[in-house]
Amino acid sequence: MADLTGGDFDEAFHEACKGHHQALAKWCVGQGVDGFNYALYEACKEGQQALAEWAAEQGATNFNRALAAACRGGHQDLAEWCLVRQGLTGGATDFNDALYEACRGGHQDLAEWCVVRQGLTGGDTDFNDALCGACRGGHQALAEWCLVRQGLTGGDTDFNWALYEACRGGHQALAEWCVEQGATYFNEALYGACRGGQQALAEWCVGQGLTGGATDFNDALCGACRGGHQDLAEWCVEQGADNFNLALRAACRGGHQDLAEWALDQGATNVSAAVLGCEDADQAEQIKLYSQPPPPK
């Protein structure tokens, strides 16, 4: 629930959009909020056309992102509405991003619709990216569909990136399937598992010793901090990770102040470089203050 005691109307607006409460979203706008592209994205993902149309009337313009959101949620009517609105803005339509999201959401009908629409534009269809989406969402049937389609295009299939996505999404069966197809980049997969908060899969990556299992725990530590998972960050340290400056930078980039402070407690010192990655200026200032030595008693 948004805390409005400090006037956090942006967070309240986000909650209103997620909950499909158009009246509350309008009220937040009256308090000075300007986040109509966010509202458009959430509305399309959740299948709320009235809210999507309201966001567009208020000035939302990112219909490519909205199209991808509609595909992820399985809403073809809204996807087609985005297509019309995108045409009105004169912008190029990104069906590859929409295809990724359709596969991530497990919607083969929309995936096939994206492929047809992409073909009409004369552009190349990125089935490797679509495969990653299917693996991220845990949809093996769609992953295999991507594999067949990729073969039809004559392209090489990148199972290493698919392995990363499967580990980040927490889908061990798909991770094992990627390995069966030839994936071997377990350090990257370990990073993905840690970023996604998937300790069982992180341990699985390390255990792939016969095929060169993962050993880059500093990179994994960065993944855990970027994703906001302190338990996995501490696990990485137990495995030997010790680059806390990189961990601090990853935590700042991910917007996780608690993990940034944890990295400082572990000995990170390069604060000025790390806070450049903070999107929230107030959070950057809080991290700077935390890094200062306490005043003398």
Taking only the tens place, the pLDDT of each residue in 152-202 is: 666 778 899 999 999 999 999 999 999 999 999 999 999 999 999 999 999
Contact status, residue 186 vs residue 205, Cβ threshold 8 Å: yes
Contact status, residue 255 vs residue 225, Cβ threshold 8 Å: no
Taking only the tens place, the pLDDT of each residue in 18-34 is: 665 666 566 556 545 55
**Residue 122 confidence (pLDDT):** 60
Taking only the tens place, the pLDDT of each residue in 213-252 is: 668 999 999 999 999 999 999 999 999 999 999 999 999 9
Give the list of residues 6+ apart from residue 217 with CB closer than 8 angstroms, or none: 190, 236, 237, 239, 240, 241
Structure confidence at residue 62 as a pLDDT band (50, 70, 90)? confident
Q: How far apart are CA 154 and CA 197, in angstroms?
A: 35
**Domain topology for 11-93:** 1.25.40
Where do the structural domains in the chain lie, given as residue ranges? Answer: 11-93, 94-157
Give, in degrees to the nearest 5, the angle at Cα 187 between 183 and 191: 110
Residue 1's CB is within 10 A of a number of other CB atoms, namely 6
DSSP labels, 77-102:
HHHHHHHHHHHHHTPPP-HHHHHHHH
Q: How far apart are CA 117 and CA 95, in angstroms?
A: 7
Tokens standing for 203? 């341990």
C-alpha to C-alpha distances, 133 to 80, 101, 168, nearest whole angstrom: 21, 6, 11
- Does 138 score more than 70 pLDDT? yes
